[in-house]
Every structure is written in C-alpha cells, then in structure tokens.
Structure 1
C-alpha cells in the first residue's frame, strides 16, 4: 500500500496497522448495521403490528356486523312480532310454542358465532325475558337499563359488568316511542380476550378495546394498569378522530409503542401496546458484545502480529527475496532452512523448481518456436495438387474460349495466392493481408463453382485491419469448407465469413450449408480439436487450431458446431488485447 511505502516502520508495526485498517471498517460497518437493524426492526414491527391490528379489527368488525344484521332480522321475525304484539291474546299452548320458537332462534344465533355467549330478548308487554342459555325469564334492572342506555347513545357495543354485549331496540329509541322489544347479545369474555392475546405475543405487550365516548375499556387481562393512560392517549385531539395510526407513550418510566385502529360501526378503538425494550433490547446486548469483541480482537491482533513476526516473517522474507532474484533471471539461487517445519518443505520445493526451470525453460521455449516454424513451413509446402491442377485446367479452358478478361482475373488471383503461400520471410501478417489472401482463394473457387457456390464476406472492421495474426489461419478453414462441405453441392451452396469483436476477443466465423459431414463425423472432429489429436491430418483445420493455442493460449483456437444453415460452423477465437497494431 502507498501509505506503507511512505511509512518508515518495521513489519510488526505494519502488521498491527494492517489489522486495524481491516478492523476499523468492519467495526464501523457493524455499528451501522446495528443502527440500520434497529431502524428496520422498528419499521418491520410497526408494519407487522399495523397489519395484525387491521386484520383482527376487520375480522371482529365483520363478525359483529353479521351478528347485528341477524339481530335486526330477529326483531322483525314473525314469532318475535307475535310475542311482542299479541302475547296477551294467545292461549297458553300457543304462547308457550311461540316462546319456544323464539328461544330456538336465540340458540341458533348463539351457536352461529364463537363470540356469542348468551342471547337475551326482553318483551315489555309480557314483563319477562327469554334467554338462550336458560329458562329463567328475569332480567336484572341494571342490565335492562344498560340495554336501554346503549340504544340512546347509538353505540352498537356496550360495556356492562366487565363484559361486552350488542343490543337492538324496537322501535328505535331516537323515535321517542315506548320500548316494544329489546334484544341483547352477550359476547364471550374468554373468546374476546383470547383474540386480543393473539394479536401480539411479547412480554409486557397487550391489546384492548377502548370506547372513548362511553369511557370504558376491555382488555386481554395482561396489564389493566395501563388502560387509563391509553384512554388519555386516545382522547388527545391530535389522535381522536383518526381512523388508525401509531405513537409512543411513556407509562411509569416504561416506553411503549402504541398502534390503534377505529371501528366506525362499533364506535370503538382497538389498541395494541408493546414495550420498546422488548423490541430493541436484543440490540443493546449486541452492542455490548460488539465492544467486548473489539477489545478482545485488539489484544489478539497484537499478540498474533508479534507471533507472526517471530515465526513466519523472517523465513518468508528470505523466500520472497529469492523469488525476486528468480524473477530478475537469476536461476542459480538456492536457499536452506534449519528447522523441520513447512518452510523447510517450501525451500526444498523452491530449489527443485528453480533447478527444473533452469533445465526446461530453454527446451520448452525452443521447442515451441521450432514447432510453430515447422508447422508453418509444412503448411506452406503442402499445396493441394488438385486445386493446382483444377486452376490450370480452368485457365486452359478460358484461353480456348478466348475469355481473356476472366483469364486475366484468374491469373491475378493465382498470382496473389501463390505469392502469399511462398513467402517465407515473416510468420506474422496483418489480418487484412490474411483476409486478402483468403479472398483470392475464394475468388478462384468462385470462378470454378460460380453456379453452385456463392461466397458472402462480411466487411472487416477498420480497427482490425492492422491486427497482427499468424499466417495461413483463415484460408485452410475456407478450403476445408469447400472440400468437405460444398464440393458436392449441385446448386445453392453458400459460404459465409463473419467477424465479431468484443472484450478483447475476435471471433471469425466460417459457415457453410453443406450436407457432407454427418453428426458422427462432426463429433469426431470436435473431439480431435478438444484433445489435440491430429490423427491423419496434421496441416489443415487441426494444424491451425494448434498454432493458435501456441500463440494466444489455451482459451483460444477453433471450435466446430452445426450451423444454422445445416452445415458446419467453425469459430476462430483470437486475442486483440496487448497486441500492437502493425503500422
């Protein structure tokens, strides 16, 4: 690192600084992560609680709405109307049967919902009540007064004797007519408390129904001491009237997260309170562990750095120095270690490596150069005699037909072709020269197969024209397409050559639509390319593949596949990175 280059300090100091440079960002990131986690936990908890409150409030409100609707239907039921209006004119049998019918319907309402504990109907004309749970016909005066009061306030749900009930009056108390019938549904305290406890399951947390107008609350029974403060919280002008929301509240030194939602149907709030320390308490523990871990890590770093300095740095520095000598070309380096540990093995392998390098570097490099030169000369010397004979026979035919213009073109292309083939001075040419030579070859073949085969050359990009490439890498691929793919084509033969360059890699694609090569033959050719098995052929497509790998590396060379036109697609991969263009 540049800072260490300017710092004139020993390895021990640098090791400690390095460890601290690593630790400080990690520590800072940890602090940031904890703070972000705290924020995210608050947000996620808020979303979760809001979702739960809305879900339970909606479910409870829907159930209450259903019970209220049933109450209205029961008020106007035929049996209810009879018992309300003509009970005094009925004989005993009819009156009893009607009362039993009313009781059956009350039982049906009770069993239709888990929230219903008992259903009672009061008929002033009979001065009695009918219950779903018993045959008792007496309604307590305070209960009857609570029924009447709920009708006067317009609230559907009423608090009485630490429980809740729904009421329905006929006629409506606001009409200021004598009460004809009153229906009350006692809600199950146990079921309501179980429902409230399901909303949030954290220590110190709870839920409650609160009616601000009637000043009552019904809780899950966990912490009733907080209910007065919750009612004050909801009476705040900034909150009262809002359909839902969240806030914070401090009760006896404890901070709570408050979530509430208002039911217009029931004129009641559902409130959930959660202690802040239940949510953020684990994060405080993590902070303490982080500080403790930081102190222990610092001590360990110092001790570990000193141990590294004593046991590892000295032999490692000697090994690095020896490697630098080898890097500069000194292959006579030899090092020894006096202790039987891993460094003794490394030193021994280093000495063996230098000795082997000293022995093989010349042989491998020389062999590689000789291989490239020999293969290029072999490729140059092996001119297909059939191609030569056919070219001269074609020239002879043109002369006989006195087609001087075409004969001149053929001679020009043959001259360019053989001039390039016989040139032995340079092993590298520009890509433009290689393409020009290959075009000369295809022009000669076009004169021969003009009615059978058409050649499509994509324009060579200007940026690639001066790119140096090995000689004779493209024409053998094209020749292979003619000989093994297109030579037997009677008509509509197509040969296309395309260039694609991206990310420092040039891909030259040679594709034909010949049908001569089978899947088995294509598979065999692909296998020989992948395994470098020259087999019977040592100069054509496999020769080019080997030369490209020798020059550019193992990831370059040729690949063959079935083309979209049905023939063979040969893709040649060359590197354009780190290669200076020929001027």
Structure 2
C-alpha cells in the first residue's frame, strides 16, 4: 500500500472536494445573476424601443392628422372653386393657404412637405415653392396610408420619402378626387431619429418594412442586421417582445416593435456578451483565482508531504524491516524539524539493536556449546564406568583374549570420543561406535545378537556425537540382560519430512505404567537419584535440530521396546544456516583458546 497515494492523494482530494462546492455555488449564483441582468436589460431594451417607436409613430400620426385638418379647412376647400374669383382674389387665397401650410409645417419636428392640388381648377399649393404638380408621380405614389417610395420629384434628388395622400371627398384613386392633400417627409428623418436613439447607448436599432427593407444609420452593421433578420419572424417577434438568437457562435438578444401608423417594425439587437462582459470578467478572475489557489494548495500539500509524510513513510519502512529482522539505515532528510531527530535516532537505535542481537547470538552459541560439552561429559563417564566393570569381571574369570578385545574396542571408542574439535559426527561414525559398543556388550551377554540396517543415503547425515550409544546401552542393560538372551536391531529410514533411526530389542519390555514414567523422565531434568541418559539424548537433539526433532519410546506388540530418534529432513538453506552457526561457534571457541593461551 503506497503511503503517497493514501496521504497525498487524500489531501488533494479533500482540497478539490472543498473547492467543488464553492465553484458550483459561484457558478449557480453567477448564472442566476446573468439571467437576472439579461432579463432586466432585455425588458429595458424593449421598453426603450417601444417608447421610441411610439414617439415616431405619434409624429407620423400628427402629420397625417395635419393633412386631414388641412383638407377640411375652408380656405383650402375654396381652391376647388377658385377659378370664379378674380386674379387678385386667387393670388390672395393661395397666399393665405400657403401661410397656413407653413404654419402647420413649422410645428412639425420633421422636415415635412405639404402639397395641395385641386384637379378641377388645376390649382397647386405647396410648402416647397420649387415643386410642381406631377400627375404621374401622384398616381404612382398614391396611398391612403404612409408609403415608402423611391419615386420622388427631381428636386429631392432621388432620396426616398414617406408619402401619404388625403383626398376630399374620399376616393380610392387620385384622379376622381376633388381635392388632394399630399403629406411627405424624407426617410432621412427616421435615420436621424435612429442616430439620436443610438447615441443614447440603445444598441443598433433600425426600421424594417414588412418586405424587409431596412432603414438604418450609416455606421450600422447592415450585414449583421440582415443575418439576424433572416433568423427571426418580425410579426411573432413583436408579440413575444424579445428572443435570443445565436449566430456564428455569438448570442444576441433581438427585439421588435410594430408601428401601426407607419406600417413598419422597429428592430434592435444587442450582443449578450457586451452586456454581461463585466460579470464574465469577474467570473474569469474568480476561476483564475481558484486555479492559482488549487496550484498553491497542491504545492502546499506537496511540501507537507515531503516534510512530514516522506519521513513518516521512511520510518514505517524501517519498522517493517526491523520486524523482519533487518536493521536498515534510513535516509536522513533535513527538513529542519523533529523528523530529522527521529530518523537519526532510529538509525542509532537500529545499530544498537543489531549490536545487542549479535552479542546475544554469540552468547547463545557459547551457552549451546557449553551445554553440549556438559551433556557429553555426562554420557562418557557413564559408559566408562560400565566398561571398567566389565573388564573387572572378565579379568576375574581369566578371559585374557576377551579383555584384549575389549581393550581394543574401548580404545577405538575413546579415540572417537576424544576428538572434541567437532560437536557433530556423521551417522556412519556413530554406527561404527555403536558396533564397537555392542561388540563389547556381547562379551558380557553371551546370547546377545545385534544387526545394523541403515541406508547408504543416510550415512553422511550429521548427528550430535554419542547420540546412539545411550539408547543401545539402555536396550542392552534394561531389555536383554535381565533375560540373558535377545536381539538388538538398529534401522534407519527417511520420508519427505523426517529422518528416523530406530533401536529395537525383544527383551522383557515395559509396562504401560513404566512407559509413562520413562516419557515423563525424558521431559524433565535429571535429579541426583535418577539417570539422565534419555533426557540428555532428547536435549541434545533439540539443541541441534530445533523443536521438530526429538526422541520417542514405543512399546512393541511382539515384546520389547523401540526407541526412535527423529529430526527434520533439512533443506539446503537450513543446513547452510546450521553450518554457519557451527562455524561461528567454532571460530569463537578457537579465539577463546587463543586468549587463554
């Protein structure tokens, strides 16, 4: 499990988890603010647009009413009968009508032209003295409502105008009317009004006819207006007040107002980005701040990780190795804090523990060496005492040859046991010793028979010295001697786990109670009044091979007793470890001898 993933990632995850609600709340608040601002701007835009459209339509309506008032004026109506008056009266009447027209024209906010024509008397009066009556223009432009036309008198230099006719009496054609009143104003008057409206910061408004003719100021973006108009339907738009249109990745809010007097739409648009730019700028600054805050938090978390978590991880790694029996030297970081002291102290502690364990290890080897020598010294006198007793008996009987054979076997035995440079021996050496011992015992017990059957594969196995002799001795003394006749058999076997050496006899055997006592004696240290052969043998096996080795006593169904030595079938690594321990013990013993010398 990686501490870096667990700690550093958790810290970063906690920071992100704290930032996410802030970002979400800010985004929701920002979105709400944008919607509120846009709704207010759109309502304000439509309100201003409606007001401007109403004022424009009202001006056009006033002009139309002025034309109607003129058509009903008594002096103007007299133009239908002016031919019966004298020339002076005709001139005076025309001047009087002209003054009224000029007075009405002066009250208008727009540059307006009012003309009156009486077809019956061919009389023509206009506020523009340069105009002359043109019947074809009247016929082509004739309309009872305001009409946008490019067909104008030469005086207007082809500039478009809005024209409206009032006939008296009413007729659908100008030719049948008794009196014709023409009211017109230049389309530039609407453009000028748009320019004033735009100077007030009201977007880029324009007038649009039902057939999508556009009147706009000179610096307006006509291509953008046309593109936006192609995406909306003016009639439905004027009913919804405003809607949003996305064009080339840019979102616009568009609005339209119908002007029933002029018969045109007042259209305006506004880029949403222009309206919400201060809010989006603040949002961008907020997100940039959050980004740098995240970077700063990451750096802070990394610094915390390197100055706290890395030393902790190093300490944990050292503790784990210490539990495995390793004594590592940790990397000492220099964060100028308490961890430097902890790491240095841990290294010192590990070195001290390693030194102490080595000392304890050497002391254990010394203790083990001493125990083996003590146990061996306890066995050697026991066998020697028996041999001296046998020599005494044979000498008393005068068996000189037997004494010589006994002395030969005894010399071989002690030549083997006095080789104390090694505490272990090969199994074949132990078997040779046992064979010499049984040869000696066969001199004491005439009907003693023995056999040794051990596989060659076990001959090179190592055992503690004199480990078999006490077992064979017990078989002879306690099993065969009481009856004076019997067989002793020594066999060896192996399985996947253990090596086994068995010493069996067909002597008097043991009772169950006696067998239980022997097993108890094996597990308890000897006392002054009790022997120690079995306990010594078992202890030596435990010291040599560990807790899996030992000694067991079995009662045979056919009579007699079987005693088995067993020890684990060690792998090479265990053998090498045991060899290294023995070598260390031997080296330590040699160094101690040199010091004593």
Larger radius of gyration: 2
What is the TM-score when the length of structure 2 is the normalising length? 0.42
What is the TM-score when the length of structure 1 is the normalising length? 0.43
